[in-house]
Amino acid sequence: MEQRTVHVPNISCGHCVMRIQKALEALEGVVRVEADVNSKEVTIEWGPPATWERIVATLTEIDYPPG
């Protein structure tokens, strides 16, 4: 398992958090997603077949690119 915490500047409300969690949890291999409105950070834990590149691509597709 891998885990990474990233800053996502576009997080502004609970809806943002729910959208991020739903999109990432839909990826096969992602086992945990925690997003925080106040810190604008998202922690993701995953294993194969998920990849960091696919996680970043998914965040970018839903307009929450890590920055």
For residues 43 and 3, the answer to whether their CB atoms sit within 8 Å is yes
pLDDT of residue 27: 98
The whole-angstrom separation of Cα 21 and Cα 16 is 9
Which residue type sits at 34?
Answer: E
pLDDT of residue 5: 98
* Tokens, residue 53: 């590149």
The whole-angstrom separation of Cα 36 and Cα 1 is 22
Mean pLDDT per block of 10 residues along the chain (67 residues) reads: 97 96 98 97 98 98 96
Domain 2-61 part of CATH 3.40.50.620: no
52-64 pLDDT, tens digit per residue, is 999 999 999 999 9
Mean pLDDT of the chain: 97
For residues 20 and 10, the answer to whether their CB atoms sit within 8 Å is no
pLDDT of residue 65: 97
